[in-house]
Structure 1
């Protein structure tokens, strides 16, 4: 179309999408009356023309501002549904959004390039007022792309990873060191760690802290296995460690579901917890208290973490800036899955 970008109107968007002006209005005000396919076609037409509603992200008829929040997560749908961390984290975000009559736009993506495309689409179509960015990698491609877009965002991760976006994070390095020192104090000399994907920034931080603490304490071994966060991956990693020549007597996990899966592997191999094998989880969801014996964990308030992230994002949306902030460091909650190793093990 030859219409200048600054003179494009709702009529132009309707014509390109093949719908009425009323349908465009319904789509952008998130009202019923248009199918999901039509809504997507309208948003695509608006993005192609570079058009946004003149009232910005507002409700119908000049109503209250609707600051909808985007969150894209690079996880398979099945594993996300089983992972307690994100369920608690999202519930914390939702607790803040509810007070502002806002909506969470959640999307599962295959990789960071797809996330960049999704965030660009959301922002250009004015579907979100800002986004929460998670799972940062070294030299994360989202940083330059979303900065150029001007997207208001809050990063979940250590400031060293997040390229200047306001960030909310926990001190994972200190927590890992505490976990290793606790297991060593119980008498464990062969301690292993089953971590998340090696490319994730927070996994790398934990891996470095684990290695440094094992070396500092002069332990016999400190093997680490990088894997996905799913139960089957945790079980596979645990089985590999327990079949190795120098079987660890204690294992630290990067989330709860892998630690629960490891308890099943230990039983399958005839090992008793904690006499033959101590297990230490991370996050301390309800899963940790439902296993037998209950799992020791590095505990933190994941729901509160999500709420703090949402509050920080609204500071960015409302004021154009926010200070980065560190929330409480995960702390040890000992239960029945950790204890001194069996004599001679």
Structure 2
């Protein structure tokens, strides 16, 4: 049975009111009595009730995360489990919990944020998948909901951001492929409504432009495996297909690599491939995937920490910048093939 205030009061020989004053650091008891109560509480193993504490200070002791993507993606895209694990590891240290909502139906996302706010279910939210002209910023301001964003939105935002610059990693992947002799380097991007989808495409375009190379080999996708395979098929069916493809995440790169191999295309002999995120499974592919080594767990830990600091008034308001991801070279990239192009056994995915 959990030790209660009544138990502490009985053991210390004082009233429950005196115990409450002592445990909450309030005046009303002498220093000697306070010390005795605290010692008895420690000996009995008393722990505060978060529910009671939350009611007394109007806090939920919970943070919210609303994901507006297909629920299946949470199980297939390794970014989200690692990111959520990072959040949870920080929250556990502060006796907070995470409230996760998956909102994909029209209007469901806004309803989810309003429900979290109106019901007092969370004290703040972590905003992922920041979009161009993100309407959620205004919504959260209206709801007076504290928040932290992953990367700085492209419009005005009063919320601190935890930033991880993805441009250097993408540029490094392109430069790596150019050094291997590739000139037809494609890019399979994520949704262009997302800030990180756009930034990775622009990083690819800039690196190609600096080398004087064309940027016509682009296909927009949705960060999913099926989307990656379909975009790969579109690129490989071009009259002048790429000899290398830079993907915006590992999931699309993995499905793209598998699809290309199903057409008899050798990786990396005919086609070089790079991913993004450094999901654990990518080192076990055949061949292992060259990728950009981001750290979603660190991102989750820092996002939760910044939001908690904001809630307790200790955050400075400045954005937090995490180390830029680095290129991790494995065996899915190699020298550019001769003039022949990888178009064997053309078929749809």
Superposition TM-score tier, normalisation by shorter sequence: 0.7 to 0.9
Report the equivalent of 1:242. 236
Report the equivalent of 1:302. 296
Tell me, yes or no, if the aligned pair for 2:218 and 2:235 is still in contact at 8 Å. Answer: no
1:138–1:220 distance in 2 versus 1, CA, 3 Å: closer
Which residue of 64, 73, 77 corresponds with 1:79? 73
1:220–1:154 distance in 2 versus 1, CA, 3 Å: closer
Cα deviation, residue 221, structure 1: 4.8
Cα deviation, residue 328, structure 1: 1.1
Report the equivalent of 1:178. 172
Q: Distance in 1 between matches of 2:117 and 2:177?
A: 47
Report the equivalent of 2:200. 206
Q: Distance in 2 between matches of 1:95 and 1:265?
A: 36
1:276–1:221 distance in 2 versus 1, CA, 3 Å: farther
Report the equivalent of 1:331. 326
Confirm whether residue 117 of structure 1 aligns to residue 111 of structure 2: yes
Tell me, yes or no, if the aligned pair for 2:60 and 2:120 is still in contact at 8 Å. Answer: no
Report the equivalent of 1:32. none
Number of paired residues?
A: 291
Cα deviation, residue 195, structure 1: 0.9
Which residue of 305, 329, 335 corresponds with 1:311? 305
Report the equivalent of 2:347. none
Q: Distance in 1 between matches of 2:216 and 2:320?
A: 31
Q: Distance in 2 between matches of 1:132 and 1:61?
A: 23
Q: Distance in 1 between matches of 2:54 and 2:134?
A: 37
Q: Distance in 2 between matches of 1:77 and 1:280?
A: 26
1:60–1:128 distance in 2 versus 1, CA, 3 Å: closer
Which residue of 332, 335, 342 corresponds with 2:337? 342
Which residue of 140, 151, 155 corresponds with 2:145? 151
Tell me, yes or no, if the aligned pair for 1:58 and 1:65 is still in contact at 8 Å. Answer: no
Gaps of 5+ in 1: 1-55
Name which of structure 1's ranges 219-228 and 63-72 shifts more when overlaid on structure 2. 63-72
Larger radius of gyration: 2
Q: Distance in 2 between matches of 1:112 and 1:146?
A: 18
Tell me, yes or no, if the aligned pair for 1:158 and 1:202 is still in contact at 8 Å. Answer: no
Gaps of 5+ in 2: 1-49, 341-349
Cα deviation, residue 60, structure 1: 6.9
Cα deviation, residue 57, structure 1: 7.4
1:130–1:341 distance in 2 versus 1, CA, 3 Å: same
Q: Distance in 2 between matches of 1:113 and 1:201?
A: 21
Q: Distance in 1 between matches of 2:179 and 2:106?
A: 41
Report the equivalent of 1:29. none
Q: Distance in 1 between matches of 2:296 and 2:334?
A: 26
- Calculate the TM-score normalised by the size of structure 1: 0.79
Q: Distance in 2 between matches of 1:150 and 1:57?
A: 23
- Matched ranges for 1:243-262 at <5 A: 243-262=237-256
Q: Distance in 2 between matches of 1:173 and 1:112?
A: 32
- Matched ranges for 1:266-285 at <5 A: 266-285=260-279
Which residue of 118, 124, 131 corresponds with 1:130? 124
